[in-house]
């Protein structure tokens, strides 16, 4: 099967030029002006940006959490991702406390196999790491799982203490891995939550008010310090505020091996969303919570200056009607997380490129290339080059849509609300190609469940 993409404006993290792309089977085989080749199919991309497919390095499909399971499984979630221009995700396999991480990986492989419509990898969520289990980290790396996530939040659930953190970090460093950190002081936060509930403050907005930005900043500071001593590069996930970003900035200024991401929700939504009536604030209960609006511009600055290297979604949707209601009388029982995997590319393009904050190259870097590099997938993923996987998005930079759960062009996620409801975006993914196959065109799904491959990732290859 071959595919010729003609007349497009090819944009990567570093290039911007007009040329044709010839794809044979799953890879890009030729790039040039007015290519004289015969192809099974030709796409005219005149007036469109032709970019590497998006990579979302932080999603939670089919994740048991808060007494329920996230509403998108690997089939619905990856399909929705593809509609939005994302062709790879890195999700999270979870180690059950007291059990092998390899068992956890197997469980998640079973969840994804035969379902994922685009390529997927896993970070391993480590919940315990005694000395006699350290050898598993080498095995994980051999399996292509080269990054680990640990939580300073959620005591009694996913939380690990500093001793575990240090042990796992040290071993990860030895194996050439990268540690992803959910950085928040969960122990102190749980005390604040108890005080709020004792005072009768049960509404969704108390989720945000009990998780001060200082508690996130403290987690960032502490996890970076431990990682520096343990000798491992660290990637701070879902940075939500200026307070936490400042800790990243300071560490990077002294040349610590620190990388960080923010998520679309922290760039576009804010604390006022918890004021919605009738429990609607529960739609925005995610961790870290939404922050005061002024933080958003600081996060955009962090993206522009390079202290934030990637924009992910932390896609972890729960149905408002059936799942968020678990916390109707107690905000601490609302399942934490929100939807977003489908809307990331348009939101970042609109807020970044159209908004004059990012160059189009930087947009590609933040939504694709940087994640490919940090997580051991470059140059197979994250760029358009001869020999790369033909993961390509043909993007209309002028088309506008208003994001809504009711707009069939912006919502295919298996959840009954859209967190970005009512936001108008300019810049829409129109044709999406996953390893040489058109999976989305004219807002129709042409992919298939099981069409996505497991991404066996390489070791951290930084510094980037």
- The residue ranges that bind ligand URP (CB under 6 A) are 60, 182, 286-287, 314, 316, 336-337
443: left (phi over 0), alpha (psi -120 to 50) or beta: left
Q: Which is nearer to ligand URP, 340 or 436 (CB)?
A: 340
Tell me the two tokens of residue 37.
């080749």
Binding letters toward Zn ion, positions 310-349, x by CB under 5 A: ----x-----------------------------------
- Tell which residue, 178, 152, 147, 155, has the closest CA to residue 165: 152
Q: Supply the minimum distance, in Å, between the C-beta of residue 400 and ligand URP.
A: 29
Q: Which does 270 bind (CB under 5 to 8 A by kind): Zn ion, ligand URP, none?
A: none
286 binds, among Zn ion, ligand URP, none (CB under 5 to 8 A by kind): ligand URP
When the beta carbons of 209 and 354 are compared against ligand URP, the nearer one is 209
**Cβ of residue 216: shortest distance to Zn ion, in angstroms?**
11
- Which residues pair with residue 122 across a beta bridge? 91
Which of Zn ion, ligand URP, none has residue 336 at its interface (CB below 5 to 8 Å by kind)?
Answer: ligand URP
Rounded to 10°, the helix 213-230/162-175 angle is 50
Exposed, middle or buried, 376 (CB in 10 Å: 0-12/13-18/19+)? Answer: buried
C-beta closer to ligand URP: residue 183 or 440: 183
- Residue (266 or 378) nearer to ligand URP, CB: 266
Of the pair 86, 287, the CB lying nearest ligand URP is at 287
Partner whose binding site includes residue 20, from ligand URP, Zn ion, none (CB under 5 to 8 Å by kind) = none
Q: What 3-state class would DSSP assign to 354?
A: helix
Question: Crossing angle for the helix pair 295-305 and 242-253, nearest 10 degrees?
Answer: 30
Output the smallest distance, CB 425 to Zn ion, in A.
Answer: 23
Name which of Zn ion, ligand URP, none residue 53 binds, using a CB cut-off of 5 to 8 Å depending on partner kind.
none
Q: Residue 333 carries which DSSP code?
A: G
How far apart are the C-alpha atoms of 260 and 404, rounded to whole Å?
29
* CA 162 – CA 398 distance, rounded (Å): 49
The Cα–Cα gap between 74 and 423 comes to 26
Rg of the chain taking only CA atoms, in angstroms = 21
Beta bridge partners of 3: 23, 41
Q: For Zn ion, give the closer residue by CB, 54 or 289.
A: 289
Least spacing, CB of residue 186 vs ligand URP, in Å? 10
C-alpha 136/C-alpha 382 separation (Å) is 29
CB of 21 to Zn ion, least distance (A): 34
Question: CB of 126: closest distance to ligand URP in angstroms?
Answer: 14
Of 6, 115, 170, 182, which one interacts with Zn ion (CB under 5 A)? Answer: 182
The whole-angstrom separation of Cα 58 and Cα 91 is: 6
Q: Of the listed pieces 44-52, 72-80, 94-102, 181-189, which binds Zn ion according to CB under 5 A?
A: 181-189
Residue that the structure tokens 């009607």 belong to:
321
345 φ, ψ to 5°? Answer: -65, -45
**CA distance linking residue 225 with residue 231, whole number of Å:** 10
| DSSP-derived 3-state class of residue 185 | coil
Q: Which is nearer to ligand URP, 177 or 337 (CB)?
A: 337
Q: 324 touches which of ligand URP, Zn ion, none (CB within 5 to 8 A by kind)?
A: none
CB of 144 to ligand URP, least distance (A): 21
Q: Work out how close the CB of 385 gets to ligand URP at its nearest, in angstroms, rounded to a whole number.
A: 32
**Per CB under 5 A, 62 contacts Zn ion:** no
Residues forming the site for Zn ion (CB under 5 A): 182, 314
């Amino acid at each position: 099967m071959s595919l010729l993409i003609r007349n497009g404006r090819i944009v990567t993290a570093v290039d911007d030029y007009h040329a044709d792309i010839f794809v044979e089977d799953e890879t890009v085989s030729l790039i040039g002006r007015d290519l004289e080749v015969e192809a099974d199919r030709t796409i005219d991309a005149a007036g469109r940006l032709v970019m590497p497919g998006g990579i979302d390095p932080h999603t939670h499909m089919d994740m048991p959490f808060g007494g329920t399971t996230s509403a998108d499984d690997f089939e619905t979630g990856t399909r929705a991702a593809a509609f939005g221009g994302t062709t790879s995700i890195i999700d999270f396999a979870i180690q059950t406390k007291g059990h092998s991480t390899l068992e956890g990986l197997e469980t998640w492989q079973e969840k994804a196999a035969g379902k994922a419509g685009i390529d997927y990898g896993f970070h391993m969520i480590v919940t315990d790491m005694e000395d006699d289990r350290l050898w598993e980290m080498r095995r994980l790396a051999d399996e292509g799982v080269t990054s680990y996530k640990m939580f300073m939040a959620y005591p009694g659930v996913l939380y690990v203490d500093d001793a575990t953190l240090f042990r796992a970090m040290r071993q990860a460093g030895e194996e050439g891995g990268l540690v992803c950190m959910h950085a928040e002081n969960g122990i102190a936060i749980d005390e604040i939550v108890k005080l709020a509930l004792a005072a009768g403050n049960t509404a969704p907005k108390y989720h945000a008010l009990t998780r001060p930005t200082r508690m996130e900043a403290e987690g960032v500071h502490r996890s970076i310090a431990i990682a520096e001593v343990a000798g491992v590069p660290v990637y701070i996930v879902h940075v939500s505020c200026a307070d936490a970003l400042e800790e990243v900035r300071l560490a990077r200024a002294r040349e610590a091996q620190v990388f960080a991401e923010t998520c679309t929700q922290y760039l576009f939504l804010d604390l006022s969303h918890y004021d919605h009536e009738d429990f609607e604030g529960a739609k925005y209960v995610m961790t870290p919570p939404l922050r005061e609006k002024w933080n958003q511009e600081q996060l955009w600055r962090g993206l522009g200056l390079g202290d934030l290297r990637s924009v992910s979604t932390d896609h972890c949707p729960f149905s408002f009607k059936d799942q968020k209601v678990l916390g109707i009388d107690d905000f601490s029982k609302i399942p934490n997380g929100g939807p977003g995997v489908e809307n990331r590319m348009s939101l970042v393009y609109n807020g970044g490129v159209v908004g004059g904050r990012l160059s189009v190259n930087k947009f590609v870097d933040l939504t694709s290339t940087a994640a490919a590099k940090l997580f051991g997938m470059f140059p197979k993923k994250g760029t358009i080059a001869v020999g790369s996987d033909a993961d390509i998005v043909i993007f209309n930079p002028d088309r506008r849509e208003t994001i809504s759960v009711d707009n069939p062009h912006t919502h295919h996620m298996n959840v009954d609300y859209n967190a970005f409801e009512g936001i108008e975006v300019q810049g829409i993914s129109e044709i999406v190609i996953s390893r040489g196959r058109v999976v989305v065109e004219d807002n129709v799904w042409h992919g298939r469940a099981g069409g996505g491959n497991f991404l066996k990732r390489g070791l951290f290859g930084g510094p980037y």
